[in-house]
A and B are shown apart, each in its own frame.
Chain A
């Protein structure tokens, strides 16, 4: 079946602009995760949804970052007033349920803030 999909694959924006990154999880997966990865580092957790609700948003770096999953499937990560330090690859993953399950990653969105 289809894996996790993310759009766009690349996004270039200017400092101060607003961006939205989209994730479509594997069909039937109730848990969805956002991570970001900087060069040479492992992915860093941002937020985790179980169904429609954010079960853990402890990784969001500040209030410029926000994510939603209104119908329990597709999720959107929103970044306001982008800064150059936000440049990274944003990865989405999904799992069948939550706590013990294996997470499968999408291809990522490379965000570049000029």
Chain B
């Protein structure tokens, strides 16, 4: 199985500041078709997870452009610019390259 490792476990951010979350995969997520199959999700308190970023750097529909994704074949970063109160929750990275699909352990974002 592809292991997805996230860091940090939690992050505390002042509103208006930026935050970055890292995710590392145990295997390259770059397919021969040139697509990198890493995704980012946010689970807000009391809600189901929602898609933020797909295929490493594409913003999902309706997601503010304060969110951005970047990375290489095995190291990925989610950046949140100008953090707002509505960004609080648990962030997960995940891969859709292979079965079984796997997820990172989650990063909890809180406000200072």
Q: Do A and B come from one complex?
A: no
